[in-house]
Structure 1
Amino acid sequence: MWRFLHLLLGFIRLYLDGVKVLIYQLFNESFTLPDLPKQNGKVAIVTGGTRGMGYEISKHLVSLGMHVVIGNEEDEGLSAVKKIQEEFSESKVEFMYLDLASLMSVQQFVQRYKAKGLPLHVLINNAGIMLVSERRTEDGFELHFGLNYLGHFLLTNLLLDVLKKSGKPGKCSRIVIMSSATHYGGRLSLEDLQGRKCYSAHGAYAQSKLALLLFSYHLQDRLWAKGDPVMVNAVDPGMVDTALYDNLCGPAQMAKRPFAKLLFRTPAEGASTAIYAAAASELEGIGRLYLYNGRKTESSAISYDEQLQARLWKESCALVGLHKA
């Protein structure tokens, strides 16, 4: 009975958060990107950049003059690159294989990237999965936690040295982390991060998005403490009509369809805040923000718990094999 109630409460929390977002989107226009400065000479990595919001982010950064590397595990990466190149004839965009559900793949991706000798000015941690049935990564992690959070945690840490070298005062490198309003209903148990005691797809997804926020804030604090020229901000894209919702349960999927075109943001609209965080001049030197619809927003109270941030960081380092306190 306790397990059933736990799952039911997680389900209710997630969908109530969704209803709140939809009501907001019904009465508020989507954020419109301002004119952004050209980014010629800068290099960005976008995870999950082959479709949906990731594709829109990649395409827009290319249009600003960035050299964009799309990190994705799908074969459609080459197709996405071709489409962008056809639209922007002098674009610099390439695909590199990256499976965030595999720690070895993340390590290999970073090794290949560093071998290119490229700088790195922008890292956008966009890739993610939502509401999949209980599965494990090849390293034994619960899939939402392993792919959405731990894969990006390791990727970011392994690329930090390049980001630090590429930034400088007045022209900081930027890390943009894709979170979600579902983090408000998220619960994080350091004793059961893999959901082995009581698995819920809804709870696992919300936990992964809360973990990303805790990581974002703590990473920025560490960078500031050392004076490193790297800014970290988290963004909430809102409810966006992408393939992420393909895993909704039957009734929810049927209820979603008639409202998606009316209430959901398009992938381009959902991508706008992440693009803003990556390139807006007014955000130069500003970090530790949670941005929603182009504005600074308060995240959940628990996301600001510095003790929990530090404990999650330490546990995450142990899980991915990083020797950092």
Structure 2
Amino acid sequence: MGTLLMTGASRGLGREAAERLLRDHPDQHLLLTVRGANGDRLAAELAGKTGNANVSTVPADLASFASLHEAVREIERRIDAGELPPLTGFLGNAGLQLTSTERATEDGFEVTFGVNVLAYYLLLRLLFDRFQPGSRIVVVGSDVHFGDVRHNLGLVPAPRWATVAELARPRPGGALAGRRAYATSKLGVLYLVHALARRLPDGVDAYTYNPGLVPGTGLLRDAHPVTRAVAGPLLQAVRATPFAMGPVAAGGLLAETALGPRPGASGSYLDRGKVAPSSPESYDEDREEELWAAAAQLCGLPVEVR
């Protein structure tokens, strides 16, 4: 038995994935990060719906480094006390798409980059030595990182990479800049996973998972009401095309990726569960290493894992 730590399980495809994990893997403990005081309620709801009480929560705010440090200390305490099985997996599903680039995390970083990239860097670095042989790390990405109409249907601007310091800095910008920051952060997820995979010991794998377009996940919840009113019906119409799938199907594939058969070599990009090439821009070891080193500095950690 092991523990799978998961973010973003309260709604959408994350909620569906959590339910599938509990139904299909009753011997796996599912530990969910929850922001606020709703952890007990979420765990009770999932246990009641699936009939599997092997689920618990830990408070964590991905927009606060202090909160993440506290969450990791609590996870380690529970493992060391025998309250949780050893850590054997990580599923990073939580992510943000905002309508500006002006908002800051508690630590002063642009929120989209801070949550979608830096928070995962910090969590995985702090837990690095806790992953047991055979562990699997999955971070949800997006095909919007390609930056072309085929992959984003013209709804999201192409990513625009810059130095990590620039990307992590709040800056003036409205809805267009916010959507571009989202695409750029998902390119950053690929760089992070590639750099992580090079450092993980043999037997511990890391993947980027692309769920495709999944209407109904709440990704537009920060958008203007008019934008939501226009985009909602459009996204539901797209749902009937090969470009998209519903939260139930997407959540099932995500759960299979987390705990099913090994999907491929560590570092792979998994497009709806199958190994596929990511964008040509996403294979850039110089950028990957620059991200790793800069993120370490921003998080107050040494560059290399000891």
TM-score, normalized by length of structure 2?
A: 0.84
Equivalent residue letter for 1:243: G
Q: Does 1:119 align with 2:119?
A: no
TM-superposed deviation, 1:197 = 5.5
Alignment of 1:244-323 (within 5 A): 244-249=219-224, 252-264=227-239, 265-283=245-263, 286-323=265-302
Q: CA RMSD in A?
A: 1.8
2:46 to 76, 80, 84: 84
Q: Does 1:145 align with 2:134?
A: no
Retained in 2: the 8 A contact 1:50–1:77?
no
1:75 to 34, 37, 40: 37
Range that drifts further, 213-222 or 249-258: 249-258
SS where residue 176 of structure 1 aligns?
A: strand
Q: Does 1:219 align with 2:196?
A: yes
TM-superposed deviation, 1:255 = 2.7
Deviations 1:223-243 (A, max 9, x none): 2xxx43210011111121211
Distance 1:87 1:203 in 2: 37
TM-superposed deviation, 1:112 = 0.3
1:161 to 107, 113, 129: 129
Q: Does 1:230 align with 2:197?
A: no
Deviations 1:16-68 (A, max 9, x none): xxxxxxxxxxxxxxxxxxxxxxxxx1210111212222212222111111210
Distance 2:168 2:262 in 1: 39
Distance 1:90 1:276 in 2: 18
Retained in 2: the 8 A contact 1:46–1:124?
yes
SS where residue 71 of structure 1 aligns?
A: strand
Q: Does 1:53 align with 2:13?
A: yes
Distance 1:273 1:290 in 2: 14
Retained in 2: the 8 A contact 1:180–1:236?
yes
Q: Does 1:239 align with 2:213?
A: yes
Gaps of 5+ in 1: 1-40
Equivalent residue letter for 1:121: T
SS where residue 296 of structure 1 aligns?
A: strand
Pairs aligned (count) = 275
2:161 to 176, 182, 188: 188
Range that drifts further, 290-299 or 210-219: 290-299
Retained in 2: the 8 A contact 1:273–1:291?
no
CA gap 1:269/1:74 in 2 versus in 1, 3 angstroms:
farther
Equivalent residue letter for 1:155: L
Equivalent residue letter for 1:274: L
Q: Does 1:173 align with 2:146?
A: no
TM-superposed deviation, 1:93 = 0.3
Percent identity (aligned):
30
Distance 1:109 1:254 in 2: 37
TM-score, normalized by length of structure 1?
A: 0.79
TM-superposed deviation, 1:178 = 0.5
TM-superposed deviation, 1:324 = 2.1
Distance 1:78 1:322 in 2: 32
Deviations 1:289-318 (A, max 9, x none): 111122222211121101110011000000
CA gap 1:90/1:125 in 2 versus in 1, 3 angstroms:
closer
